[in-house]
Chains A and B, each alone.
Chain A
Amino acid sequence: TQLLEQSPQFLSIQEGENLTVYCNSSSVFSSLQWYRQEPGEGPVLLVTVVTGGEVKKLKRLTFQFGDARKDSSLHITAAQPGDTGLYLCAGFMDSNYQLIWGAGTKLIIKP
């Protein structure tokens, strides 16, 4: 069982639609990061959220950290083919020095 559960595992939508993907846990994280990974490449950091309830925006991407710091969401407005990729969430717990990773949401945006 993954400590961080991402849903959905796979999402395929048309260009211009909106979408939300989720990263959930029963554990508390001191911070949570979202990465995007393209085929043949390593993950690249999009954003870090630290404070419960925090909302960060990156152009058409909106990230939210849950009030209890157990979950996070990524909302994409007017998705574009360039948003296609594997979206991974990863969290730091106060008790260790390791990033805990979710299994990822594979997103395909069709033109």
Chain B
Amino acid sequence: DAGITQSPRHKVTETGTPVTLRCHQTENHRYMYWYRQDPGHGLRLIHYSYGVKDTDKGEVSDGYSVSRSKTEDFLLTLESATSSQTSVYFCAISSGVNTEAFFGQGTRLTVV
């Protein structure tokens, strides 16, 4: 299995609080991605990174920010959580474009 770890695995938080999810990889892959998965929508890209300190927005980036200060870590922050951000969040890594994406086990986030 690819070395990719997400933390926490489960979190319940209140509306309006900040939340940070962490993705850690041991594969030294260049690309890292944050997705959310909701019923009927499949995987939707939030943000991605193509190198240290190089990030870009995906299709559902509003309300989210990311940081990548080291190759191995990619952080996703919800500045002020809303109920619409209740979802399962997946981190993925890949060595390049057009290559296999390896996924973490996901973080189930509930905003109450």
Contact = CB atoms under 8 A, between A and B. Distances in A.
Chain B interface mostly: strand
Nearest to B99: A48
Contact of A99 (B40, B41, B101, B106): B101
Nearest to B45: A98
Nearest to B38: A103
A33 interface: yes
Interface residues of A, number: 23
Interface in B89-103: 90, 92, 97-98, 100-103
Contacts of A107: none
Interface residues of B, number: 22
B50 A2 contact: no
Contacts of B61: none
B106 A98 contact: no
B87 to A, nearest CB: 14
Interface of A: 2, 6, 9, 30-31, 33, 40-45, 48, 88, 90, 92, 97-99, 101-104
